[in-house]
Copies of this chain bind each other. A is one copy, B any other.
């Protein structure tokens, strides 16, 4: 049915009484950018998508057959709000460290990490509450918390992550309800928080009794360097960890999780129930059978191998082609790196010229809670092929050279 045939015979309501909060939601800043980036002929580094050609289709298909064979009607029926026990048990094991033991009861399955962020907002935020974030920070977290009328206090980052020394002043000033960080290969900057900064963050959080949201979608995708201790290992019950299968199996199955102490896990379960009863039973069993067949760890190795190469190709091309004044991060993992332009150059303007030249990445402004920086780009280095990475970065370099000449 084409749109033109749509008609409502009776337009009874002339003015819709939407809620104040819904009316206040601004159009997603990067949605228009993603539309433009999707035009044909454009090499697209803008999206947040993992590489579809690496999805483990064959093994997921086998897992799907196993779900029908082994679980039958149970996989198609309503299930617990917490999530199916089998999967929570596996996630508890994978989340545990020698210092920090999780059980199935301290894991809550969510419809991707985005739902975890929404439920965190639901569980913790009163209107006007402050959240302390890195600047820049993950846009999806801002959208989730914005609905709960959060305000933000931000702490700048350097190559070691949030400059925690600067956090205490903000904490004193704003009394934030939560600290939100993406400590590993941050979206958007690609930066990883150092061990010292992690310890300092946990220390200050403890002193001021502020829970830390440890959003960790990329933690298993390390291509080089040595991991720092996880925040949850250092921070005990103060740390609420968010994980997802979106980047290591498939985002379309929408399975993420929260690992937290029992009191927090129970509250997340309570606030989830009225939002969707539970996440899809079928996809939970799908992931469970995929993991039980022993494919996850080898698949992660395969993704890491491919993404490592793409990262290296992109960084090498940037190093060779970019004007010296343009800086970029060299992430040890994840999906994204971050370009910083010299003072006085507007990323929004460069974006338009880059699109004309056939390449797109996301101007960094919407990743700043106060929209106060227009000097950066987020670049996805995992989604395009190596050839397209070289060609796309050359196009971008050419635009930047013209811009800076």
Chain A residues near B (Cβ < 8 Å): 1-3, 5-22, 25, 27-28, 48-50, 52-53, 55, 57, 60-61, 64-65, 68, 72-79, 89, 92-93, 96, 99-106, 110-112, 114-115, 117-118, 122-126, 129, 140, 143-144, 146-148, 177, 202, 205-206, 209, 211, 235-238, 246, 250-254, 261-264, 267, 270-271, 273-283, 286
Residue in contact with A12 in the complex, picked from B21, B237, B252, CB distance below 8 Å: B237
- Cα distance, A78 to B205, chains bound together (Å): 34
- Cα distance, A251 to B277, chains bound together (Å): 10
5 A–B pairs (Cβ distance < 8 Å), ordered by A:
A7-B101, A12-B206, A78-B252, A110-B276, A146-B274
**Interface contact B68-A53, CB-CB below 8 Å:** no
- Cα distance, A276 to B283, chains bound together (Å): 15
**Interface contact A118-B49, CB-CB below 8 Å:** no
- Cα distance, A217 to B235, chains bound together (Å): 45
Min C-beta distance of A300 to chain B, whole Å = 16
Each complex incorporates copies of this chain amounting to: 2
Cβ–Cβ < 8 Å partners of A124 in chain B = 17-19, 22
Min C-beta distance of A218 to chain B, whole Å = 15
Interface centre among A21, A118, A252, A254 (most CB of B within 10 A): A252
Interface centre among A5, A111, A126, A209 (most CB of B within 10 A): A111
**A101-B6 CB under 8 A given contacts A13-B209, A52-B76, A76-B57:** yes
Min C-beta distance of A20 to chain B, whole Å = 6
- Cα distance, A75 to B99, chains bound together (Å): 39
Residue in contact with A122 in the complex, picked from B57, B68, B147, CB distance below 8 Å: B147
Excluding A18-B123, A64-B68, A253-B281, 7 further A-B contacts by CB distance (< 8 Å) are A8-B236, A8-B237, A8-B261, A16-B264, A55-B76, A252-B280, A254-B277
What 10 A-B pairs have minimum CB-CB distances, sorted nearest first?
A10-B236, A252-B281, A52-B73, A76-B250, A12-B238, A143-B274, A6-B103, A111-B276, A115-B276, A76-B252
Cβ–Cβ < 8 Å partners of A9 in chain B = 99-100, 236
Cβ–Cβ < 8 Å partners of A237 in chain B = 8, 10-13
Min C-beta distance of A274 to chain B, whole Å = 4
Min C-beta distance of A229 to chain B, whole Å = 13
Cβ–Cβ < 8 Å partners of A202 in chain B = 12
Residue in contact with A103 in the complex, picked from B2, B25, B283, CB distance below 8 Å: B2
**Interface contact A6-B64, CB-CB below 8 Å:** no
- Cα distance, A102 to B8, chains bound together (Å): 8
**Interface contact B13-A211, CB-CB below 8 Å:** yes
**A19-B99 CB under 8 A given contacts A12-B238, A65-B61, A236-B10:** no
**Interface contact A209-B2, CB-CB below 8 Å:** no
**Interface contact B76-A251, CB-CB below 8 Å:** yes
- Cα distance, A210 to B370, chains bound together (Å): 37
Min C-beta distance of A25 to chain B, whole Å = 6
**Interface contact B52-A74, CB-CB below 8 Å:** yes
Min C-beta distance of A162 to chain B, whole Å = 18
**Interface contact A19-B125, CB-CB below 8 Å:** yes
- Cα distance, A167 to B61, chains bound together (Å): 53
Residue in contact with A123 in the complex, picked from B14, B19, B122, B254, CB distance below 8 Å: B19
Cβ–Cβ < 8 Å partners of A103 in chain B = 1-3, 5-6
Cβ–Cβ < 8 Å partners of A19 in chain B = 122-126, 129, 148
In the complex, residue of chain B having the shortest beta-carbon distance to the beta carbon of A50: B77
Cβ–Cβ < 8 Å partners of A114 in chain B = 274-277
Min C-beta distance of A145 to chain B, whole Å = 9
